[in-house]
Amino acid sequence: MSGSIKPKEAISTSTSLKKPIEEELRWIDITATDDTGNSALMIGIRDNKEDVVKFIVGRALSVNKLSEVLQIVNKDDENAYSLALRAENVALLRIIEDATEKEKKQNFRKSRKVCLNFKFKFKGEKGFKICAR
């Protein structure tokens, strides 16, 4: 499934025996795009599928690919955030914004840990400055 997705197959909800969204999207490539440049996240936003958007954003956040997924631009020069804005769907915008804030906090914690490790590793060294963020 590398490189391209088929929107109707990736987000199928027409069957009478619906599977949980986690099971349906379990193996989806979150960075793949269709022929118009839309990612699965963008298709979920376009179709106002809050559960799909929440799942994909959560997956992207957990594998440190949220920024990459949000930077995908389709052939109409739109990204996931601009599609959610155009759809005027506050819930979808909130999902993206909350995840972006979580990503910032995660990245801040990671960079601080590096600084703290240097602090303890070089404790007592003369002329060493502790980095602060």
Mean pLDDT score, 73-94: 95
pLDDT over 90 percentage in the chain: 53
The domain spanning residue 68 has which CATH number? Answer: 1.25.40.20
Task: Name residue 67's amino acid.
Answer: S
pTM for this predicted structure: 0.66
Residue 57, domain member (yes or no): yes
3-state secondary structure of 110: helix
What confidence category does residue 105 fall into, taking pLDDT thresholds of 50, 70 and 90? confident
Residue 91, domain member (yes or no): yes
Q: Give the count of domains, the chain.
A: 1
Q: Which two tokens stand for residue 94?
A: 């909130």
